[in-house]
Amino acid sequence: AQSVTQLGSHVSVSEGALVLLRCNYSSSVPPYLFWYVQYPNQGLQLLLKYTSAATLVKGINGFEAEFKKSETSFHLTKPSAHMSDAAEYFCAVRTPFGDMRFGAGTRLTVKP
């Protein structure tokens, strides 16, 4: 069954440092993968999605993710963290049934 695993429930970086949030997927077929962000007391919004058109996907707010089939990974990165990036980040995969399953989430803290 399709699923995603997010490594690290909490990640802390300094402002201006690289952000790396890890997501590994399990899928028997080419997956459709998504990253969502949830700011404090807000709903979830889409950051980016992988639909097989390109392995490097660029999203909003300077985030990008690279699909690596050999590593079954879809890690999220941002070259330089900003204080406003502090939020909960969720990786998700679409299943053959058509629904979406989410990882446990990674809380990103940005230190000044």
Partner 1 sequence: GAGVSQSPSNKVTEKGKDVELRCDPISGHTALYWYRQSLGQGLEFLIYFQGNSAPDKSGLPSDRFSAERTGGSVSTLTIQRTQQEDSAVYLCASSPRGEETEAFFGQGTRLTVV
Q: How many CA atoms lie less than 13 Å away from 48 in the CB half-sphere?
A: 22
CB of residue 31 to partner 1, shortest distance in Å: 9
Neighbouring CB atoms inside 10 A of 27's CB total 18
Q: How far apart are CA 49 and CA 3, in angstroms?
A: 15
Give the nearer residue to partner 1 in terms of CB position, either 17 or 100. Answer: 100
Residue 34 as a binder of partner 1 (CB under 8 A): the answer is yes
Q: How many chain residues are in contact with partner 1, going by CB under 8 A?
A: 23
Going by C-alpha positions, the residue among 19, 36, 11 that lies closest to residue 80 is: 19
Considering only 18, 46, 54, 60, the residue that binds partner 1 (CB under 8 A) is 46
Footprint on this chain of partner 1 (rule: CB under 8 A): 32, 34, 36, 42-46, 49, 51, 90, 92, 94-95, 97-105
